[in-house]
């Protein structure tokens, strides 16, 4: 919901950092992999209930997720880099709820499973539309900096990261956060499926 508003405001800072990192030995894909490796640490940290360390890993992962794109835009976006970035993003988004489940299975297992179930809905609707939108070369002005079509919704990247941050700061409330956010994710899924179907129905008739 807020991604299209936040990206233009964060982009100048990321571009300045990318300018400093623009060295032959540093590649966008390398930043993607390094950021993901840091993000993976959130899983054992959460399982051990080291919530401060997990929060640091999440924030660093998201920083590098922005930096890899900024550096890629300096050198030219690639389909391979875009694929790697989104694939590892979805894995990262899944491992954080799983970490909270491991931290307290009795309290978090059902709510965490609900959240992961909801992530399947938002992720599949997002990727399915992106794959078909490429065929018709649909314009996407709100996310023109991305390597492929980003279908917006009520729960996007910014909202998901806010959920993770709140959950690390208030881990005893994770189950409630997961139930509520999962419901919002399903609202996003339904609107994406409906709007995506209507959009592709129109362009398919041209």
- The pTM for the full model equals 0.84
CATH architecture classification, 3-204: Up-down Bundle (1.20)
Q: What is the pLDDT of residues 35-76, one digit of tens each?
A: 999 999 999 999 999 999 999 999 999 999 988 888 988 887
Q: Please give, one letter per residue, the 3-state secondary structure of the chain.
A: CCHHHHHHHHHHHHHHHHHHHCCCCCCHHHHHHHHHHHHHCHHHHHHCCCHHHHHHHHHHHHHHHHHHHHHHHHHCCCHHHHHHHHHHHHHHHHHHHHHHHHHCHHHHHHHHHHHHHHHHHHHHHHHHHHHHHHHHCCCCHHHCCCCCCCCCCCCCHHHHHHHHHHHHHCHHHHHHHHHHHHHHHHHHHHHHHHHHHHHHHHHHCC
Q: What is the pLDDT of residues 101-131, one digit of tens each?
A: 999 999 999 999 999 999 999 999 888 887 7
Q: Determine the distance from the C-alpha atom of residue 56 to the mean position of all C-alpha atoms in its chain, rounded to a whole number.
A: 17
What is the CA angle 154-158-161, rounded to 5?
Answer: 115
Check residue 11 and give its pLDDT. Answer: 74
The structural domains of the chain, with segments of one domain joined by +, span 3-204
Q: Answer with the residue of higher pLDDT: 173 or 126.
A: 173
State the chain's mean pLDDT as an integer: 85
């Amino acid at each position: 919901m807020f991604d299209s508003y936040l990206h233009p405001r964060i982009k100048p800072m990321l571009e300045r950092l990318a300018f400093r990192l623009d060295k032959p030995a540093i590649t966008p894909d390398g930043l993607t992999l390094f950021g993901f490796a840091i993000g993976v640490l959130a899983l054992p940290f959460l399982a051990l209930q080291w919530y401060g360390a997990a929060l640091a890993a999440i924030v660093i992962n998201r920083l590098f997720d922005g930096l890899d794109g900024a550096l890629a835009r300096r050198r030219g976006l690639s389909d391979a880099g875009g694929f790697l970035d989104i694939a590892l993003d979805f894995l990262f988004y899944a491992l954080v709820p799983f970490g909270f489940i491991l931290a307290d299975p009795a309290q978090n297992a059902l709510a965490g499973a609900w959240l992961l179930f909801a992530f399947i809905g938002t992720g599949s609707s997002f990727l399915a539309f992106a794959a078909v939108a490429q065929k018709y070369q649909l314009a996407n002005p709100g996310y023109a900096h991305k390597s492929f079509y980003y279908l917006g919704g009520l729960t996007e990247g910014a909202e998901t990261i806010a959920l993770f941050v709140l959950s690390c700061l208030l881990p005893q409330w994770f189950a409630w956060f997961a139930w509520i956010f999962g419901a919002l994710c399903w609202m996003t899924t339904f609107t994406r499926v409906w709007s995506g179907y209507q959009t592709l129905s129109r362009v398919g008739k041209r």
